[in-house]
Structure 1
Amino acid sequence: MLSELAIKNFAIIDDLKISFSRGLSVLTGETGAGKSIIIEAVNLLLGGRASADLVRTGEKSAHLEAFFDISLDSPAATVLKSQGLDPSEGLIIRRIINANGRHRIFINSTQSTIQLLKQVTGNLASISSQHAHQGLLKEDNHLDILDHFAGIWPLRNKVKATWNELMPLIRELEHLKATITKRTEDNQLLKFQIDEIDQANISPKEDILLETQKKRLKSGSEIFTCLKTGINHIYTGEDTILEKLDTIKTGLEKYTPLDTNIAQVAEKLSRTMLELEDITDEMRHISTGIDLDPATLEETEARLDLIQKLKRKYGQTSLEDLLTFYGELKEKISGSEHMAEKIEAMGEQCRALSQSLGKMALDLSKKRKKAAIKLAKLAENELKTLEMNQIRFTIVVNHSPLSRPEKQPKDLFSINGMKITDTGMDKVSFLMAPNPGEKPRPLARIASGGELSRVVLALKAILSHTDDLGTLVFDEVDSGIGGKTSDKVGIKLKALAEKYQVICITHLAQIAKYGKTHYKIEKQVINERTATHITPLTQKKDRIHEIARMMGGSTISQATLDHAAELLDSNL
């Protein structure tokens, strides 16, 4: 229950405090006095969106505070305890709205977030305003109301979670399929390129080795001639170097006993001759290995030409780059194979999720159809108590139709021809026939302001049992009604107030008379500043005077006062 409300520097309110009690509290006053501003303050304290424009002109910030009396086993208390906050002293919510756009929220003196605020206040109060009336004209809201009544939001949330998991998978799967289709076309070229490089059987740095070999082959005959000439001079020709050295060595050996230096020279000559013989053998071995066949050179040049051709063809500047490119081609082919496996696995996952989603959506649809019959009957009965005696109220639950393919959104998903979204497969419409002989039609097409107000009240009365709310707030509930109907609306509000705390803004005396507590809202100009003030009407004479004002306008006669007293007494 909302026990205390404090508002400071908010719109045209400078400083206002209200104490609410159980039962029906009515707020009355002239149009523009600030009644709806008070409701807006309550809305913000329940988690509504704040705007810097709401700060009173000339002030830096607006301060809103509410005290709710809650039980320790209430949902709000459970949330508080989960956050380490003590609910034993009740719930105090404070919001500071700064003109610079930086706002703050406090729950039981602890700074908090808008998300936590909404969790805490989820079951505290509900506000029905002109916005709610207009919202009832939108069929998207009909689905929410029906699901609320049916108590199937947990199942609907599962549908949404599954849908949110499935749709990205479907989009990714479609992308992969499109990619692999293109790759399949490209793979013919990839395989040709891989085969062409494969057949070349190229080794790393082979081009460097071939270039060296090419130079050696081109110089083969010159090298062979040079080697043969060397062998001839050293070993096989006439008057060879070895023969000359041997002659010198033989001549010196006669004198080695006489001079050790000569002996050393002779020894060196022997070693030199042995080394020259080794050199000759090496030269002979090298010469036998020289390939003088022109075909070998042609083969080497052809091999180099092949490598150069492949480098040019595939836009590579080096053999290393060509081999890297070859590796990338093989990875692409391998990637296509892996992609096919991924598509198969993802397809299985999509099929499983689709089956689960379809089953849950169908279950959700069945529950909606069952609840629709019950809610329509209850709404019809409620509306009959509000002077709509011949009303026929119908709730239609249909499967969402599929659009033409070219008009279907990319995130469309269907099962067996039924469109499925994150809310399921249904489209819900509230239809009404206010008078006998009329065909039920959508609310937006036929409901008057007064009829719409009563539909909102009827649904709120029904849903209040489902929500288990502590406080119901009504603004504009008397829009478009009067006379006997307004009296019936007042009776309905009073009946609701027997179970809930009900706060109602009204312009009608027939409704105001049912208030257990009555607050008068006035707009005053003090020191050239407009401000809203509230006065609890605790004295009967004050209530009579206010009800008389509501009945007779600015001029209040004794007859009007007598009528107001009679109205008030009729409720006592």
Structure 2
Amino acid sequence: MLRSLDIRDMLIIDRLELGFQPGLNVLTGETGAGKSILLDSLGFVLGWRGRAELVRQGADQGEVIAEFDLAEDHGAWDVLREAGFTYDDALILRRINSRDGRKTAWINDRRVSGEILRAVSETLVELHGQHDDRGLLNPNGHRVLVDDFGGLSAKQSKVRSAWKDLSAAKKALKIAIARVAELQAEEEFLRHSVAELDALSPTAGEDAELDKSRRKMQASEKIGEDISKAYQALGLNGAEGNLSDAARWLSDAADQAEGTLDAPLAALDRAMAELSDAQAGVEACVDTLAFNPHELEHVEERLFAIRGLARKHNILADELGPFADGLRERLGALDRGASDLADLNADLALAQKTYDEVAGALSDARRAAAGKLDKAMAKELAPLKMERAVFQTEITLAEAGPEGIDTVAFTVATNPGAPAGPIGKIASGGELSRFLLALKVCLTGTDSGLTLIFDEIDRGVGGATADAVGRRLSQLARGGQVLVVTHSPQVAALGDHHWRVEKRQTKDATLSTVIGLSDVDRIDEIARMISGDRITDEARAAAKTLLTA
């Protein structure tokens, strides 16, 4: 519920503080007094798009603050919780418009974007008038109204879920068909490549090992002869024999050399040991270099085959194994293609069957709700002096989608025998207002927590019809809050709370203000609405009659 509205320096309002109450709140005043400015200011703080220039002449900025009392389970808190807010005792919206056109908004002293502000405002206030484009005149909203009236949210959820599953099944089948077609186009390549790779069966690191072996064998051909010569030079016919002879000769002479040959003999012993190690190393090298010439040929053939395949597929040699696994997987997918497509077609058929069932159930429920709404509307239109008008909800088959298989449209025939048509084209201004009001009365149970604002929807009606409009507004306000801007004394007299919007002249400016009316003041205001500028005793008497009726 809207608790208060504080307006500063907006258009011709310098400072205005209003406190609203539950029930039917009535705003009256002469044409041009500023009633529309009041609504513009409220729309501004709610984030609605409206006038571009709102700041009062001479002021640096305009500001509007709106305070709402909301239950913890009100829809506004659902929006705010997603934005990181927590429940508070009150909800305070504040928005500033600077002279240069910049607009800044806060919710409970936390700065917010216009998107969040508008999302919250949709759960707080609903504005209706003769040019309403979110309710009766917007065919896109008719289905939503019927669904809300019928309490079909659970069925809607099932349809949306089934549509999501159906769309996913269609997408999966489409992707699979495209994939199979792609694989079929490269089937020859896949089968040949897999066979080629399977025949070679390369392993990780094999290229490096083969290259190392090849280089070693190639090197052995070049250095083998020299190593053999060296081995012979170190043997008995070479260094080993010469060292042995020298050691034997020196040993024979050592007894007569009186110790002078001991050191040379020791050195020869060490040399013989080192020589032995050298012989062993060279012998090992000779054994290592020994190979079968056919082995070199085999190594080179496999090395070249591996490298050739790597070049063919433009990958590294060590990547051939994983690459082969990938080709085998694609070939397997091709071989399984028919079976996989059959499974996906079965999934699609089941998803389609499920969607058809829940969409059909929702369509049946909509038709039932539409019939009840049409009957409820007929009942509401009679007191509004439109008992001969026919309101009908037409439901026709539409392209399937997440909201079902129906198109919903409100049509009316205002006179017997007249053709029915879209409500916005058939109904006159006054008739449209009454259709709108009747619909809101029928849907009032679905608008819990909304403050409803009606801007001169009683225009074009008077007398008993205006009284009927006022009584329906009063009924709509029970247990909630309705604000109505009106020029009808019959409607004004039925208000629970009454404000008069008036314009006052100062030396330098024209300003608009709003005054709460006492019971006595209401008599004069309603009398003014009846008789005009000159309030007569007869007009006051008529006003008292309206107030006590």
Alignment of 1:202-217 (within 5 A): 202=202, 203-216=206-219
Q: Using a 3 Å threshold, how does the CA distance of structure 1 residues 263 and 56 change in structure 2: closer, same or farther?
A: same
Structure 2 counterpart of 1:148: 148
Aligned to 2:531: 548
Quote the Cα distance in structure 2 between the aligned partners of 1:471 and 1:483.
Answer: 27
CA distance in 1, matches of 2:430, 2:245: 142
Q: Secondary structure at the match of 1:396?
A: strand
* Change over 3 Å in CA distance of 1:113–1:364 after alignment to 2: farther
Whole-Å separation in 2 of the counterparts to 1:102 and 1:200 = 72
Secondary structure of 2:526's aligned partner: helix
Instruction: Give the distance between the partners of 2:31 and 2:325, measured in 1 at CA.
Output: 79
Specify the SS of the correspondent of 1:140. helix
1:568 partnered with 2:543: yes
Cα offset, 1:141, TM superposition: 0.8
In 1: Cα distance, 2:119 partner to 2:286 partner: 96
Distance 1:460 1:6 in 2: 28
**Which whole-Å CA distance do the structure 1 matches of 2:472 and 2:539 have between them?**
20
Task: Count residues with an aligned counterpart.
Answer: 527
**SS at 2:524's partner residue?**
helix
Of residues 408, 413, 420 in structure 1, which corresponds to 2:401? 420
Against the structure 1 CA distance between its residues 313 and 506, is the aligned structure 2 distance closer, same or farther, given a 3 Å change threshold?
A: same
CA contact (8 A) 1:235 1:277 kept: no
- 2:507 matches 1:507: no
The aligned counterpart of 1:415 is: none
Inter-partner Cα distance in structure 1 for 2:76 and 2:266: 113
CA change 1:567–1:208 in 2 (3 A) is same
> Quick one: which of 318, 321, 324 aligns to 2:319?
324
Q: Deviations over 1:313-338 (max 9, x none)?
A: 3335xxxx321354245246548879
Instruction: For residues 421-445 of structure 1, give each alpha carbon's deviation from its aligned partner in whole angstroms, at most 9, with x where no partner exists.
Output: 1x23322111212222234322234
Match of 1:390 in 2: 388
1:96 aligns to 2:77 (yes or no): no
After TM superposition, list the pairs within 5 Å mapping 1:157-168 onto structure 2. 157=157, 159-160=159-160, 163=163, 167=167
Q: For residues 461-508 of structure 1, give each alpha carbon's deviation from its aligned partner in whole angstroms, at most 9, with x where no partner exists.
A: 112244455854311312444565434423433554566554321234
Residues 133 and 453, structure 1, Cα contact 8 Å, conserved in 2: no
Q: In structure 2, what is the equivalent of residue 408 of structure 1? A: none
Matches within 5 A, 1:81-480: 83=86, 85-86=88-89, 91=90, 93-99=92-98, 100-106=102-108, 126-132=126-132, 135-157=135-157, 159-160=159-160, 163=163, 167=167, 171=171, 174-175=174-175, 178-179=178-179, 181-182=181-182, 185-186=185-186, 189-190=189-190, 192-202=192-202, 203-216=206-219, 218-219=221-222, 223-224=224-225, 227=228, 231=232, 234-235=235-236, 245=243, 247-259=245-257, 260-262=259-261, 265=264, 295-316=294-315, 321-331=316-326, 333-334=328-329, 358-401=356-399, 419-421=400-402, 423-468=403-448, 472-480=452-460
Answering whether residue 485 of structure 2 is matched by residue 486 of structure 1, we say no
Which runs of 5 or more residues in structure 2 are unaligned?
none
Structure 1: distance between partners of 2:39 and 2:268 = 123
> Aligned AA for 1:365?
S
Unaligned runs of 5+ in 1: 402-418, 550-555
- Alpha carbons of structure 1 residues 171 and 153: separation in structure 2 relative to 1, 3 Å: same
Q: Contact (CA 8 Å) 2:23, 2:480: kept in 1 or not?
A: yes
Alpha-carbon contact 1:41-1:64 (below 8 Å) kept: no
Q: Given that residues 214 and 300 in structure 1 are in contact (C-alpha distance below 8 angstroms), is that contact kept between their aligned partners in structure 2? A: no
User: CA 1:28–1:375 in structure 2 vs 1: closer, same or farther (change >3 Å)?
Assistant: same
In the superposition, the TM-score normalised over structure 1's length comes to 0.73
1:264–1:449 Cα change, 3 Å = same
Q: Would the aligned equivalents of 2:424 and 2:432 in 1 still touch at CA under 8 Å?
A: no
Quick one: which amino acid aligns to residue 96 of structure 1? R
Please tell me whether the aligned partners of residues 155 and 358 of structure 2 are also in contact (alpha carbons under 8 angstroms): yes
Structure 1 stretch 134-143 or stretch 321-330: which is displaced more? 321-330
CA distance in 2, matches of 1:96, 1:225: 97
Q: Is the 8 A contact 2:456 2:485 kept in 1?
A: yes
The corresponding residue for 1:14 is 14
Structure 2: which amino acid aligns with 1:400? A
Report the 3-state secondary structure (helix = DSSP H, G, I; strand = E; otherwise coil) of the residue aligned with 1:393.
strand
For the Cα contact (< 8 Å) 2:9–2:15, is it kept in 1?
Answer: yes
Matched to 1:523, the amino acid is K
Q: Does structure 2 retain, via aligned residues, the 8 Å contact 1:25–1:503?
A: yes
How many angstroms apart in 2 are the aligned matches of 1:500 and 1:285? 104
SS in 2 for 1:136: coil
1:530 positional shift? 3.6
Name the CA distance, whole Å, in 2 between partners of 1:53 and 1:337: 69
Instruction: Tell me how far apart the structure 1 counterparts of residues 247 and 124 of structure 2 sit (CA, whole Å).
Output: 124
Distance 1:328 1:527 in 2: 90
Q: C-alpha distance in 2, partners of 1:445/1:281?
A: 112
- 1:63 to 2:69 alignment: no
Q: In structure 2, what residue type is equivalent to 1:505?
A: V
Q: Is the 8 A contact 1:137 1:443 kept in 2?
A: yes
User: What CA deviation, in whole Å up to 9, does each residue of 1:145-184 have, x standing for no partner?
Assistant: 1122122235434544665677567646744664565356
Displacement, 1:188? 5.3
Equivalent residue for 2:503, pick from 485, 503, 523: 523
Give per-residue Cα distances to partners, 1:1-37, cap 9 Å, x unaligned: 6564432223432222345556544322344432133
Q: Which letter does structure 2 place at the counterpart of 1:257?
A: D
**Equivalent pairs: percent with the same residue?**
29
Measure how far apart 1:205 and its partner are: 0.9
- Which whole-Å CA distance do the structure 1 matches of 2:176 and 2:455 have between them? 54
Residue-by-residue CA offset, 1:204-238 (whole Å, 9 max, x unaligned):
41343144234235427xx34762685389446xx
1:117–1:353 distance in 2 versus 1, CA, 3 Å:
farther
SS at match of 2:415: coil
State the alpha-carbon separation in 1 of the partners of residues 450 and 103 from structure 2.
31
Q: 1:444 to 1:258 in 2, by over 3 A?
A: same
Deviation at 1:360, TM superposition (A): 4.0
Instruction: Say if 1:146 and 1:246 are closer, same or farther in 2 by CA, change over 3 A.
Output: closer
Corresponding residue number in structure 2 for 1:410: none
Between stretches 330-339 and 8-17, larger displacement belongs to 330-339
Cα offset, 1:375, TM superposition: 0.7
Deviates more, 1:143-152 or 1:323-332: 323-332
Asked whether the 8 Å contact 1:45–1:66 carries over to 2, the reply is no
What is the alpha-carbon distance in structure 2 between the residues aligned to residue 445 and residue 272 of structure 1?
Answer: 121
CA distance in 1, matches of 2:284, 2:77: 99
Alpha-carbon distance change, 283 to 469 in structure 1, aligned in 2, over 3 angstroms: closer
Q: Does the aligned pair in 1 maintain the 2:492–2:526 contact within 8 Å?
A: no
Q: Quick one: which amino acid aligns to residue 398 of structure 1?
A: T
Shift of 1:457: 0.6
RMSD: 4.7
Asked whether the equivalents of residues 42 and 64 of structure 2 are also in contact (C-alpha less than 8 Å), the reply is no
Is residue 46–residue 93 contact of structure 2 (8 Å, CA) maintained in 1? no
Kept after mapping to 1: 8 A contact 2:24/2:483: yes
In 2, are the aligned partners of 1:125 and 1:470 still within 8 Å (CA)? yes
In 1, distance between residues paired with 2:254 and 2:2?
A: 133
Please say if residues 7 and 13 of structure 1, whose CA atoms lie closer than 8 Å, have aligned partners that are also in contact.
Answer: yes
CA separation of 1:307/1:93 partners in 2, compared to 1, >3 Å: closer, same or farther? closer
